[in-house]
Structure 1
Amino acid sequence: MPTIKALISQGHIEKVLVPLLPFFPQAFTYVKGDLLDKIWPVVKPLIEKKGFDTRRERDALLHDLMIEDPVELASEIDSDPFKTLIRTILSARSKDEQTIKVSDALFKHYDTAEALAAAPPEKVEEIIKPIGFYRAKTRSIQGAARMLIDKFGGEVPGKYKDLIELPGVGPKVANCVLVYAFNTPAIPVDTHVHRIVNRWGLVETTDPEKTCDQLMEILPREWWLVVNDLLIRFGKEICKPITPSCNICPLDELCPKIIVQNKPKKKQAAGGKGKMKK
């Protein structure tokens, strides 16, 4: 049985990612055009197993699938680049559900760069206090709003090199904005994506930024848009950090189940990796 790394190295990434799609249909949002046409013969029987009539028109079928999967990430709620940027900055170390609730409350009062930049910091802090690090996040989002006004005419830039200059924006946030606001291929890597691809043995890295760099070399560009959405959901619901649900995972037989340890323990052999029990 080939491993996940071997399949992707041999150009068969669809054998790894396609089996996950019916579990998380919202990810079909980012599978379009030629890519969807190419994988549809493989996707179709997987959807049939879920009890859907695949003789129907494809777009209508996918629409119904996505309705049954209402879960959305904080970064993908809006097509508005400003709201996507602010939601994603706020999402750091916070659950998506809470981030969405808090950012919705924030946008009722301050929904533009100009409004947020001019807001009294204590008012912003009061609104976003339910999420962690609210004082630091207030400084970040207001600083980002001011820089948007001062340097980018109040608009969120659509280039990585510009986004990364904004306060509170690192590689993950910048790539989320590119993917979810501008539909620009990029690979946002959070702790879930980082953990999963290391667990698969696809990369051997110690931080998300290095993981991102390697994934951009390994994964075909046509798959970049879907990677973050699909693997975050997979990491939250199946390939969990402590007790992964290997018994329901469609990739169980392909997965080497590598334990990821960023810092080796004392008296432990270099590498710090072993097999994970099912």
Structure 2
Amino acid sequence: MNEQTQTASEKAAKFSLNKALQLVEIAVEPFPKAALFELAERGWNTTFQQVLACMISVRTLDEVTIPVSERLLTRAPTPDRLLELREEEVTELIAESTFARTKAHNMLEIARLAWTRYEGVLPCDEALLLSLPGIGPKCANLVLGIVAGQAKIGVDIHVHRVMNRWGYVQTSTPEKTLRVLEQKIPKETWIEVNRLLMPFGKNICTGRRPHCPTCLLLPICPQIGV
């Protein structure tokens, strides 16, 4: 085992998640918040609005997600207002998002369900959210955390990558990372992990050419795989 590997192993063994999150909080301050958190702060914070925004965000950059979501939600902030639009109109409103036509179809299906079964108010319920077309565990967890304040972790590629570089998990997919984190991390930090690590992974601990030399976490980071 060479010196660099020994150093990484030693850092991983001593790694403190609480300390890391404190430093990440400082590090991400200059950067935009993760899209769904930013939209919630702007007032788009109902279950229905967050579900639509999260659907838009799938495989779409935050820089696109935020303005596209605001354009759609300004036009159709509630299920009944969305149902006034044809599928082609919804598709056009979210055209910059990936798979816009499929997302538009699913959005209208969700709006119909909310209107016919729940009197226009989509409940923030885990089983219901996971049953919605186009909504997987990541989106469901984000909505539950942001709207209802439930202890949930939304693991995207950024959270997955950062946690593996820290040596906090050794996993091959975001789904596996989620399962491990739910066992290892205290529930009171679950929402914070998602809120902080998404902008950290997007702007600092990037997939290619991470900004290690200027990162506040360099003294404690094992830099596994970097």
Instruction: Provide the TM-score with structure 2 as the length reference.
Output: 0.86
1:3 corresponds in structure 2 to 11
| Superposed displacement of residue 6, structure 1 | 4.2
**Greater gyration radius:** 1
Task: Report matched runs for 1:241-252 at 5 Å.
Answer: 241-252=207-218
2:160 corresponds in structure 1 to 194
Q: Choose the corresponding residue for 2:195, options 214, 229, 232.
A: 229
Task: Report matched runs for 1:131-170 at 5 Å.
Answer: 131-170=97-136
1:196 maps to amino acid: V
Q: Choose the corresponding residue for 2:222, options 256, 265, 271.
A: 256
Superimposed CA distance per residue, residues 188-227 of structure 1 (whole angstroms, 9 cap, x where no aligned partner): 0111011111222211222212211111111111111111
Q: Choose the corresponding residue for 1:15, options 4, 15, 19.
A: 19
1:3 maps to amino acid: K
The CA distance in 2 between the partners of 1:70 and 1:248, in whole Å, is 15
The CA distance in 1 between the partners of 2:83 and 2:56, in whole Å, is 16
Superimposed CA distance per residue, residues 164-187 of structure 1 (whole angstroms, 9 cap, x where no aligned partner): 111111011001101111121110
Rate the CA distance shift 1:180–1:148 in 2: closer, same or farther, 3 A: same
1:89 maps to amino acid: M
Superimposed CA distance per residue, residues 20-64 of structure 1 (whole angstroms, 9 cap, x where no aligned partner): 111224xxxxxxxxxxxxxxxxxxxxxxxxxxxxxxxxxxxxxxx
| Superposed displacement of residue 161, structure 1 | 1.7
Residue 131 of structure 2 aligns to a residue in which SS? Answer: coil
Task: Report matched runs for 1:64-213 at 5 Å.
Answer: 69=30, 71-76=32-37, 77-78=39-40, 79-213=45-179
Rate the CA distance shift 1:72–1:130 in 2: closer, same or farther, 3 A: same
| Superposed displacement of residue 13, structure 1 | 2.7
The CA distance in 2 between the partners of 1:163 and 1:213, in whole Å, is 19
The CA distance in 1 between the partners of 2:84 and 2:132, in whole Å, is 17
Q: Report how many residues are paired.
A: 213
RCO greater where, 1 or 2, for CA within 8 Å and sep 6 or more?
2
Q: Is the 8 A contact 2:33 2:199 kept in 1?
A: no
Residue 111 of structure 1 aligns to a residue in which SS? Answer: coil
The CA distance in 1 between the partners of 2:12 and 2:148, in whole Å, is 30
1:24 corresponds in structure 2 to 28
Q: Is the 8 A contact 1:192 1:231 kept in 2?
A: yes
The CA distance in 2 between the partners of 1:211 and 1:250, in whole Å, is 24
Q: Is the 8 A contact 1:147 1:166 kept in 2?
A: no
Residue 217 of structure 2 aligns to a residue in which SS? Answer: coil
The CA distance in 1 between the partners of 2:163 and 2:135, in whole Å, is 23
Rate the CA distance shift 1:5–1:171 in 2: closer, same or farther, 3 A: farther
Decide which structure has greater helix share. Answer: 2
1:136 maps to amino acid: T
The CA distance in 2 between the partners of 1:171 and 1:196, in whole Å, is 19
Note the residue ranges of structure 2 that are not aligned, 5 or more in a row.
1-6
Coordinate RMSD, CA, aligned: 1.9
Residue 201 of structure 2 aligns to a residue in which SS? Answer: helix
| Superposed displacement of residue 231, structure 1 | 0.4
Note the residue ranges of structure 1 that are not aligned, 5 or more in a row.
26-68, 260-275
